[in-house]
A and B are shown apart, each in its own frame.
Chain A
Amino acid sequence: MHTKILLDEDQMPKAWYNILADLPTPLDPPLHPGTGKPLVPEDLSHIFPMELILQEMSPKRMIDIPSEVQDILRLWRPSPLYRAHRLEKHLKTPAHIYYKYEGVSPPGSHKPNTAVPQAYYNMKAGIERIATETGAGQWGSALAFATQLFGLECTVYMVRSSYSQKPYRKSMMQVWGAECIPSPSTRTKAGSSVLQKDPETPGSLGIAISEAVEDAATHSNTNYSLGSVLNHVCLHQTITGLESKEQLAMVDEYPDVVIGCLGGGSNFAGISFPFAGDKLKGTHRETDIIAVEPASCPKLTKGLYTYDYGDVAGLTPLLKMFTLGHDFVPPSIHAGGLRYHGASPIDSKLIHDGVMRAVSYHQSEVFDAAQTFARTEGIIIAPETSHAARAAIDEALRCKKSGEAKTILFNCSGHGHFDMSAYDAYYAHQLVDYEYPEKLIRESLARLPKIPGT
């Protein structure tokens, strides 16, 4: 019985899977924030390279991974798939638990799977600098790593509360040559206006996105890059699901349950799309695909499925997605990467259409699971990842009750080595279980003006 299921380097997938090709009904198009009309590729060309814009809208099922990108991905890919024998034994469950470990990448998460191709396509398009935002610092450090490999400059707007809370993520960006600025900042109009209204704001991902987009839009040598949400980001992440499918096949398994945590939706998309594709095509109709979100920021379980902006200032296109409202500033939970008001439009549609589903958990429940995982499997996982571990453990416990030997796969999206202060807070009984007062918020929004396009 294997513990690690490994692929050789030459077995690494050579193409990404584009689920847009298999959707039974097309995605609602992104809308121009000014006109409310569906976007055309040119609308995005001042902040994205054309190759990524085409991927965003491509009807092609498989999209080739450029060989320069493959060369870099091979620094850590294919990543291992683990069978969680010790966790299963501890839970006394008949279920088979597998986890795809993305913490082996140099920045320590799944994020470089898209940072590398994004940096590559920008370099090819003659771009000299990339601006981006980061919440907890995972994405910022991943893009710093990737841009540096292709000789690009990188400016990272980091949510202010994390900037002071996670100093080592900042240090990593410095090692990889990126500039990291606490957001909101006075570098941009969007940041200045937030600061003027509220000098003490802890910042949010939505504000940081506004800053990075503005930076890119106002500098011709600079493009913008987003670490999640968008179709092309989800596309790049499918390498994790494609590898997992191969690895599971090596041990004659196919998952009954596929789980990922969801911030913007990219690691969840990555692990699940190849299996969701099978479900759509009818080859495996019964797969239960679960996105896990924090109870404090529950867009999937309590949000609306509607058009909304991706950022606070309303600079991004309007996307049809599950959202808590673009002006919602989620509470400062330790899983900073899950503090986002919206979700990937593809994930949202598939959840809305019942192909996949969502659950939410409180912080303290999530850290209980992280502790169990660390004490059985050894890996200290990121707070974001712990949400997926919680759901996987609960599924396995349900199997224990029902006696079913289900095969559970979850995306172990990153390690938590720079999140130890969150673990400290857990042991000091200082974790706060935030909630989203859904009914009151809906009432409070009753009189607000509507955004165009809804």
Chain B
Amino acid sequence: MELPLLLSSTLTMCVIGLLVNPIAGLGGAVGLKGTDGQVGEARARGALPRASGRAMEALALLSGLPVCFISCSGAMGEEALRNAGVSRYEVAYRASSGLTSADDTVAACRIFLERNVDLVLFCGGDGTARDVYSVLGDATPMLGIPAGVKMYSAVFAVTPTAAARIVMSGCREGGHFLIRDAEVVDVDEEAYREGELKTHLFGIAKSPYVRGLIQSTKQVFESHDEERAKTDIAHFIREVMDGTPDILYILGPGSTTAAIAGELDLKKTLLGFDAVKGGALVASDLHEQAFLALLKEGTQARLVISIIGAQGALLGRGTQQVSPNVIRIIGIENIIVVATPQKLTETPVVFVDTGDPDLDTSFGTHISVISGYRIARRIKIGTGEIPSPNTG
């Protein structure tokens, strides 16, 4: 028993901030679509907490690794760590009452940031992801163990076991995780309870991932590294823009379109729509009326958008500024979709949900997505209603 310990202590210790949102998923179990503001109701309906159990499932697989956890007291982390048989942890945050809230998540994350952790591993749903991201931004990578009601953000692993695998792969490398961009989306819970999915892009986090699940069938990407893939796409689109100086280009939200603006040395709003023509910024953060004003009679325009969130939404979710009316004026043939190969491997099917079913069907069955320098991929357009989020 001595030897493995000795061995592991010679490895660089990976430091992970662990946070469990004890009430995540409470609402889902009793038919409430989300838990925000519904804890009392959920408990009254007899909901039992499940987040701690989900966290434990992941942690049990990590107990032998050279990892040091920095966590929170009780149901916010310690309980799951202890039950999973993890001994190397430190409680750095104590919640003041038994009923925890978003404030506790935020406070714990501040401490993780101060302690310079390699990764924040959290257990919850989209709401928790949003709270964690609001502190970390893109400074520290975050990874979600799915336990909430809705998990449309791209920071979630598919299952607790998958989350553990991703953590393991990085820890073996001494805390060097392969990092990619992952959207954190915010779901309108009111609308969601009414059966409608309305999301908007809250931010773009850094999240670890595992490359190519089946190594022996290595599919060579246009490029392996996501940052590089973005640069390749941006480089190509910039050349297209250079060749068509009379066309107005509207760049949608996300880091891939931001990379295009970067190529042009323009500052883009990360979450909004900006217009560019002849290499200069014409307008930023457009809303529907501003769009319509810009697109007045005969302006030839193109919309450059990327795919948002883990569910592969193309238009509609997170891009409500672009109304069906705006899309019709621009013309479907003038929409250029861009996405990195890394993103596309996770979203083999994309969804168009403009709010106008006729317009949606006119997109057809496949779409060509620019995925590299002078390279496109043919991607299937799904027909599903609300695509199901990652559930364990």
Binding site for B on A (CB under 8 A): 161, 165, 200, 202, 296, 328-329, 331-332, 362, 421, 424-425, 428-437, 440-441, 443-447
Contact = CB atoms under 8 A, between A and B. Distances in A.
A46 to B, nearest CB: 33
B219 A425 contact: yes
A443 B336 CA distance: 14
B144 interface: no
Contact of B244 (A328, A332, A446): A446
A200 B240 contact: no
Contacts of A428: 214, 217
A443 B220 contact: no
Interface stretch (B34-42, B270-278, B374-382): B374-382
A151 to B, nearest CB: 36
Interface string B187-221: 00000000000000000000000000010111111
Interface stretch (B12-20, B134-142, B365-373): B365-373
A421 B216 contact: yes
Interface string B240-282: 1011100000000000000000000000000000000000000
Interface string B213-245: 010111111111100100000001101101110
Given A165-B220, A444-B243, A446-B242, 11 more contacts: A200-B225, A202-B223, A331-B375, A362-B378, A436-B374, A436-B375, A437-B368, A440-B237, A443-B243, A444-B240, A447-B242
A329 B217 contact: no
Contact of B217 (A425, A440, A446): A425
| A interface secondary structure, majority | loop
Contacts of B220: 161, 165, 202, 332
B67 to A, nearest CB: 30
A331 B341 CA distance: 11
B374 A328 contact: yes
Contact of B243 (A329, A429, A447): A447
Contacts of B240: 440, 443-444
Contacts of B224: 200
Nearest to A362: B378
A194 to B, nearest CB: 14
A85 B225 CA distance: 47
Interface residues of B, number: 32
A443 B341 CA distance: 23
Nearest to B225: A200
Contacts of B216: 421, 424
Nearest to B222: A331
A435 B243 CA distance: 21
B376 A437 contact: yes
Interface of B: 214, 216-225, 228, 236-237, 239-240, 242-244, 336, 341, 344, 348, 368, 370, 372-378
Given A202-B223, A421-B218, A425-B217, A436 B376 contact: yes
Contacts of A436: 374-376
5 contacts: A433-B378, A435-B368, A435-B377, A443-B240, A446-B244
A434 B377 contact: yes
Contacts of A424: 214, 216-217
Q: Which 8 A-B pairs have the closest CB atoms?
A: A446-B243, A444-B239, A332-B220, A433-B378, A435-B376, A424-B217, A443-B243, A425-B217
A373 B218 CA distance: 24
A199 to B, nearest CB: 11
B378 to A, nearest CB: 4
B219 A430 contact: yes
Given A200-B223, A440-B240, A435 B378 contact: yes
A432 B377 CA distance: 7
A421 B223 CA distance: 19
A395 B66 CA distance: 61
A328 B244 CA distance: 20
B325 to A, nearest CB: 25
Nearest to B378: A433
Contacts of B370: 437, 440
A165 B216 CA distance: 9
A163 to B, nearest CB: 11
A200 B228 contact: yes
Nearest to B375: A331
Contact of A421 (B217, B236, B344, B376): B217
A257 to B, nearest CB: 27
B199 to A, nearest CB: 27
Q: Which of B219, B239, B373, B377 has the most CB of A within 10 A?
A: B219
A444 B228 contact: no
B218 A165 contact: yes
A365 to B, nearest CB: 11
A329 B225 contact: no
A444 B241 CA distance: 7
B261 to A, nearest CB: 17
A443 B214 CA distance: 38
A447 B279 CA distance: 14
Given A200-B224, A443-B240, A432 B374 contact: no
A155 to B, nearest CB: 24
A386 B219 CA distance: 18
Contacts of A329: 373-374
Q: Which of A165, A328, A432 has the most CB of B within 10 A?
A: A432
Contacts of A444: 236, 239-240, 242-243, 374
A428 B218 CA distance: 11
Nearest to A332: B220
Contact of B375 (A429, A434, A443): A434
Contacts of B218: 165, 421
Contacts of B376: 434-437
Q: Which of A328, A331, A436 has the most CB of B within 10 A?
A: A331
Contacts of A443: 240, 243-244
B377 A433 contact: yes
Q: Which of B214, B240, B368, B374 has the most CB of A within 10 A?
A: B374
Nearest to B218: A165
Nearest to B380: A433
B229 to A, nearest CB: 11
Contact of A430 (B217, B372, B373, B374): B217
B391 to A, nearest CB: 21
Contacts of B374: 328-329, 436-437, 441, 444
Contacts of B219: 332, 425, 430-432
B262 to A, nearest CB: 18
A374 B247 CA distance: 50
Contacts of B336: 440
A18 B1 CA distance: 77
Nearest to B239: A444
A421 B215 CA distance: 10
A222 B334 CA distance: 52
